[in-house]
């Protein structure tokens, strides 16, 4: 980035980036039964960091992310792998979903399962992979 980014962009990014990150979490969590999921959530989250890169600088985006994007990829794949390997404990084929019912109140029950964990893995991997590409382009 040779020239200073515009003031309008910077001011907007200050508000939009956190909202995008929040929205990405919303997408991730609603994804199992409705449109959304780890992949689209990950892309939206990566967009938040991309805007930071363009509105401020590469260093800012890296600092906010805290970890190297390639590490995110590795952690994401590991999480996905672990979510699938759990099925072997129940003598089921790889990636078979295991579900728990979590009663919050007498009427509300949350269903949690390994597919959500898998989606978290996808989410992290997509953020990591997208940002690895973006950051190396931004370096040039």
Is 133 an interacting residue with respect to another protein (CB under 8 A)? no
Is 138 an interacting residue with respect to another protein (CB under 8 A)? no
Is 136 an interacting residue with respect to another protein (CB under 8 A)? no
Q: How many residues bind another protein (CB under 8 A)?
A: 16
Identified binder of another protein from the candidate list 40, 60, 97, 138, rule CB under 8 A: 97
Nearest CA to 7 out of 77, 56, 47 is that of 56
CB of 37 to another protein, least distance (A): 15
58 within 8 A of 139, measured Cβ to Cβ: yes
Interaxial angle between packed helices 7-30 and 114-139, expressed in degrees from 0 to 180 and rounded to the nearest 10 = 160
In the complex, which residues of this chain contact another protein (CB under 8 A)? 70, 74, 77-78, 81, 84-85, 87-88, 91-97
């Amino acid at each position: 980035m040779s020239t200073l980014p515009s003031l309008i962009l910077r001011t907007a990014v200050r508000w939009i980036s956190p909202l995008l990150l929040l929205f990405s979490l919303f997408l991730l969590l609603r994804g199992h039964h409705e449109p959304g999921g780890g992949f689209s959530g990950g892309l939206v989250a990566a967009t938040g960091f991309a805007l930071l890169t363009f509105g401020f600088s590469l260093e800012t985006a890296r600092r906010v992310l805290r970890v190297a994007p390639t590490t995110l990829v590795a952690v994401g794949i590991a999480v996905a792998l672990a979510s699938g390997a759990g099925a072997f404990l129940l003598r089921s084929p790889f990636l078979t979903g295991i579900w728990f019912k979590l009663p919050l109140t007498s009427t509300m029950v949350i269903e949690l399962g390994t597919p959500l964990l898998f989606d978290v893995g996808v989410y992290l991997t997509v953020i990591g992979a997208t940002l690895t590409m973006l950051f190396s382009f931004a370096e040039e």
